[in-house]
Chains A and B, each alone.
Chain A
Amino acid sequence: MNRRKLLSLLGMSPVLLTKASAKAESLPKNAEAESDTGSAGGKVTAVNPKGTPPAIKLIPMAPRLDSLDGKTVYLVDTGFHGSDTLLEQIQIWFKENMPDVKTVFRRKAGPYAQDDPALWKEIKEKGNAVIMAVGH
């Protein structure tokens, strides 16, 4: 599935996103009245059972760097099995292919969905970019 299709599943049309409009489009159509073969005869009106999703605040991405030369990249392990080994291999890749880049490996403390404010503070002070490994 491509990103456009995925987002429309979410009820977010790409058009909508580009315009950043707060107005919702009624995407799902009414059930079409098809051939009236059902033994349950006439038409009835039924309510939509869906809850109310929160409005989404768009977050601009952080500005990119001109180049990674001489920069410090933090490699952050979220704690899933195998992430540490993958990030080690990324570290080796930088050493071999972009030796000017300094890499720092950190395992995020706390469960995977929890923030680690101390780590974020450290990265903000000492780092220029982050690569996070998620999944296993």
Chain B
Amino acid sequence: MNRRNLLSLLGMSPVLLAGATAEAKTKAKKAVASAGGAKLEVLNPRGMPPPITLIPMAPRLSSLDGKTIFLVSDGFPGADRFLAEVGDWFQKNMPSVHTEYRLKAGGFADDDPKLNAEVKAKGNAVIMAIGH
């Protein structure tokens, strides 16, 4: 599925996003009538999703040379070894880049404020491994 289809599944049209409007458009079409039987009016069973605040992405670096990249594992099996390989890749291919491996504390969906502070203080970029 492409991103456009996915977002429209979510009820977010790319147009809507680009316009960043707070107004929800009624996108769902009325079911089309066809032969047979009287028509009924029925209620939408869905709940109320919270509004989404758009977050601008952090500014990019002009180059990674001499920078420190934190390699952050979410704790799924295999992620640690995978990031070790990413570290190896930088050593071989971009040796001026310094990498730091960290395991995020807490469950996979939890924030780790201590790690965030450390990355902010010492790091220039982050690569997170998600999946297993």
Q: Which residues of A contact B (CB under 8 A)?
A: 39-42
Chain A residues with CB under 8 Å of B40's CB are 39-40
Any chain A CB within 8 A of the CB of B38? yes
- Residue pairs across A and B with Cβ atoms less than 8 A apart, 4 shown, are A39-B40, A40-B40, A41-B38, A42-B38
Chain A residues with CB under 8 Å of B38's CB are 41-42
A41 to B36, CA, bound (A): 13
Within 8 A of A (CB), among B2-59: 38, 40
A40 to B38, CA, bound (A): 8
A39 to B38, CA, bound (A): 10
A42 to B40, CA, bound (A): 13
A41 to B38, CA, bound (A): 8
A39 to B40, CA, bound (A): 8
Chain B residues with CB under 8 Å of A40's CB are 40
A38 to B38, CA, bound (A): 13
Residue of A whose beta carbon sits closest to that of B41:
A39
A42 to B36, CA, bound (A): 13
Residue of A whose beta carbon sits closest to that of B40:
A39
Residue of B whose beta carbon sits closest to that of A39:
B40
Instruction: Determine how close the nearest CB of chain B comes to the CB of A17; give it in whole angstroms.
Output: 45
Chain B residues with CB under 8 Å of A39's CB are 40
Instruction: Determine how close the nearest CB of chain B comes to the CB of A18; give it in whole angstroms.
Output: 48
